[in-house]
A and B are shown apart, each in its own frame.
Chain A
Amino acid sequence: MLEVRNLRKQYGDLVAVNGVSFCLQPGDVFGFIGSNGAGKTTTIRMISTLLEPTAGTATLNGADIVKDPLAVRSMIGYMPDFFGLYDDVKVWEYLDFFASIYRVPRSQRGDVIDNVLQLTDLTVKKDAFVQSLSRGMQQRLCLARCLVHDPALLLLDEPASGLDPRARAELKALIGELGKMGKIVVVSSHILPELADFCNTVGIIERGDLLAFGPVDQIVKGAHTTRVLELRLLREANASARFMLDLPHVVAAQATSESLVCVDFSGDYEQQAELLKHLVSEGFPVIGFREQEADLEDVFLRLTTGAVQ
């Protein structure tokens, strides 16, 4: 279990992270979302014991990051937002180096390396030099490096940045897999859609403040009091919008084009069906009627002001 309590980091007068608290259980894949400069990297580096917190602390399975950094380090895999690869080193040598500084016994290292290579789909590159790998492969190698000691917590700082869509999809699948293996995975990103579909917990950080934290659906629900309905008509979109404004539970209605109307609706599903009946009986040629999926993107834009420090 990772328990972060009031973690704070101050650089002179600038507060980079302002008392962040959250708690994650094994199996949680935590999406840590915030624009550039929001304080994601700073938070992650503090948890990985590389940076001294100005105040507050965090514990991982009972080990305190300030009081017992070495114990914490042996339980985490930290993947920074840069590669930190060495030149002139082969893939297996690179992994062997990290396996031995993580104190994987010599007799097990060979197997461990084969396993993580297989997990990250790099087996064929075992004897290649790291600088000869593509960006996506290097990224996966970095992830493989974080896995050699079977850590309880993975801290992945912007792992998907700079990857092509295919590599990104593979990475997502891999991260989801790791969550299923019972690890705590923290993934940061400034691009929302990247995280929405495979995280089960999200946190939104802005100027060092954690604005929202919790399971994805809860956060999405919490931020919405009305639902948005999207209507498609053959014609007369404007007229129908005007008509609907007078109906119950309609907060707002606006034609966004010749054939589309967006409705802010505060009623429940029963009343939603009622609304459709009214429209049809009034003779409006409705050809589509659906509820817009509220997504993380919305929540993010609502919560944050978009301001970057």
Chain B
Amino acid sequence: MIATREAARQGFFDRFASWLGETKLAYLGNAAALRDFRVQLRGNRSMLLFGLYLAVMIGAGLVIYAQTANAGQISALVAQNNLLTFYAVVIGMLGAVLTIVTPALSATAVVMERQRHSLDLVFSAPVTARYYLVGKMISAFRYTWMLLILSLPVTASCVVLGGASWSDVLESFGLLSMHALIITAISLLVSTMVSKPVSAIIWSYAATAAYLIPATALSAGAMNATNGPFHMEGIQAPFWGGLSPYTVSAMAGTYSSIGGLDVPNWILVGGLTLLICRLLLLGAGVALASWDPKLIVKLRSTSLVYAAVLAAWVGYAAVPSASSVGDLSVFGGSLLAGSSVALLLAVPNVCCFGKDAERRLRPNGWFSSRRMLDGTPAGALPFLLALVSVGALGLFLGTFLGSGLTLGMPFLVYVCYGAALVSLFWAVARYTSSYMLGVRTARVGVIVSMIVLLVLPTPILSALTPAGIDSEALTVWDLFVLRPIGATNTHRVGEALAYAVLLLAATGIFAAWAEKNLKEKNSGDRPDGPIVA
């Protein structure tokens, strides 16, 4: 008995040691990163960086000159103010440069290797998806960091002139690196999923925009809730103000008071960023793992854990007193529903199937919780619902731990609404796949349906009505499926409930339709053998 326990402990330590060794190898001795580094030094991308840097430097130098040229005529206070603004502008510009440059630098990382077939060489070696992706992440990120380092002279001049302190600069750089990390991870994920470098770049920018727009909106909300974008140093502010790379300098130095502890917001944002990156890379890992069922199970279960931790982190860090978010239950629910919308991006890849695809992507039933983790179509809905559920659970627990509040009924309604939204597109994916025209066609079908239902209404509805999407009055905006998201008080909960019911009904219709199609197509034609042993 004692012997077995001892052995188990030994086994645990062995596994931990080997995990540690792998991790060290992936982060410190990563051959892929080293190889890329050698190429980077020789390629002409460095020239591009230097060019950009020069442009930034010259622009900034001119501004400094213009400011100091009339220093004699303005009061010290105004001059001080100007310097602060100038510093904010420089850091904001850096944020803008990062968001423009990073996708271009990272998007082609994997897809180029796929196109020149060197990916096969790498994966015929005993290389894990994790090792490879970490290597790519390091090499893509190194560029972005070079940008930051190169901007040091300008930022340093701000410190010297008195617009900012070194700790401000350090904090801003930390936050900017975090943003660059997320954009790099987004681009890498895109890069593992597409087949052409050009589409990788286009989709990376699209995905980056899809992330930055809501993130910046959230951040702007947080700024408005406090003092506005400048002079926030040393005050309490909602941490999601730091989600935008353009207002980093304002967020540096702010804190959130959690359970009597003043936690700097950059720690909260940093943790959040790392969790998001991890989730994105897990997705990229699944895309690269292609067919190894054990690996997919591992990656998917890990992603459930990370989704829960991420949600808990957000719940924990959202401090109601500082954020003026209105009803916390509604806000939490709205956040969860928003995350479900982000989850929709995974639907085409997770849910579509076809005869032309790998065996894993052949139809094997519509719902099987046993298949939740193995990447087959029957496990798609269970997996998506599990993600929504662990997210909801994490948010609930995190909020409780952070501020002692329990998310109530409105939250539950929003959870159902988010789940219904995901289910609907799952059903659409099944429907488009059920014609058995191939996975690609099915995926395009789902993406088109998303654009029609979720993206197109925005310009059309805003043309139809002068009222904004955030107006409380009854407008045509209520016809928009995503309308309940972004609410801060209980007005919209009824609407969320109505939409949840409506979406579930539509889900049922599409799912039944898909089943009917599949029966017709598949009579007598079964996938060969067990899909996953």
Decide whether A and B assemble into one complex: yes
Given contacts A52-B291, A86-B118, contact A78 B38 (CB under 8 A): no
Q: Are B125 and A101 closer than 8 Å at their CB atoms?
A: yes
Determine, out of A67-75, A171-179, A287-295, the stretch whose residues face the partner at the interface.
A67-75
Question: Could you say which residues of chain A place their CB within 8 Å of the CB of B38?
Answer: 88-90, 93
Considering the chains assembled together, what is the distance between the CA atoms of A252 and B528 in angstroms? Answer: 50
Which residues of A, 210-237, contact B by the 8 Å Cβ criterion?
Answer: none
The one of B118, B122, B127 that contacts A85, using a Cβ cutoff of 8 Å:
B118
Given contacts A50-B120, A80-B120, A85-B118, contact A73 B42 (CB under 8 A): no
The one of A83, A89, A103 that contacts B35, using a Cβ cutoff of 8 Å:
A89
Which residue on chain B has the smallest CB distance to residue A72?
B126
Mark interface residues in B277-307 (1 if CB within 8 Å of A CB, else 0). Answer: 0000000000000111000000000000000
Given contacts A52-B359, A84-B118, contact A97 B35 (CB under 8 A): yes
**What's the minimum C-beta distance from B286 to chain A, rounded to whole angstroms?**
15
**What's the minimum C-beta distance from B281 to chain A, rounded to whole angstroms?**
19
Considering the chains assembled together, what is the distance between the CA atoms of A80 and B116 in angstroms? Answer: 12
Which residues of B, 482-533, contact A by the 8 Å Cβ criterion?
Answer: 528-529
Q: Are A82 and B117 closer than 8 Å at their CB atoms?
A: yes
The one of A48, A85, A86 that contacts B124, using a Cβ cutoff of 8 Å:
A48
Q: Are A101 and B31 closer than 8 Å at their CB atoms?
A: yes
Question: Could you say which residues of chain A place their CB within 8 Å of the CB of B116?
Answer: 84-86
Question: Could you say which residues of chain B place their CB within 8 Å of the CB of A85?
Answer: 116, 118
Flag whether A283 is at the interface (Cβ < 8 A): no
Q: Are A50 and B123 closer than 8 Å at their CB atoms?
A: yes
Mark interface residues in B39-74 (1 if CB within 8 Å of A CB, else 0). Answer: 100110000000000000000000000000000000
Given contacts A12-B355, A54-B528, A97-B31, contact A102 B125 (CB under 8 A): yes
Mark interface residues in B3-42 (1 if CB within 8 Å of A CB, else 0). Answer: 0000000000000000000000000010110110011001
Given contacts A11-B356, A55-B528, A103-B126, contact A84 B39 (CB under 8 A): no
Q: Are A98 and B125 closer than 8 Å at their CB atoms?
A: yes
Question: Could you say which residues of chain B place their CB within 8 Å of the CB of A71?
Answer: 126
Number of interface residues of B (CB under 8 A): 32
Flag whether B358 is at the interface (Cβ < 8 A): yes
Flag whether A100 is at the interface (Cβ < 8 A): yes
Number of interface residues of A (CB under 8 A): 38
**What's the minimum C-beta distance from A74 to chain B, rounded to whole angstroms?**
4
Which residues of B, 239-275, contact A by the 8 Å Cβ criterion?
Answer: none
Question: Could you say which residues of chain A place their CB within 8 Å of the CB of B358?
Answer: 52
Q: Are A88 and B39 closer than 8 Å at their CB atoms?
A: yes
The one of A12, A51, A70, A84 that contacts B126, using a Cβ cutoff of 8 Å:
A70
Flag whether B451 is at the interface (Cβ < 8 A): no
Q: Are B124 and A87 closer than 8 Å at their CB atoms?
A: no
CB within 8 Å of A: which residues of B? 29, 31-32, 34-35, 38-39, 42-43, 116-118, 120-128, 131, 290-292, 355-356, 358-360, 528-529
User: Could you list 17 examples of A-B contacts with CB < 8 Å?
Assistant: A12-B355, A49-B124, A52-B358, A73-B127, A74-B125, A84-B116, A84-B120, A85-B116, A86-B116, A89-B38, A93-B38, A96-B31, A97-B35, A100-B31, A101-B31, A103-B126, A106-B29
> 4 shortest A-B CB distances, which residue pairs?
A52-B291, A100-B31, A84-B118, A78-B124
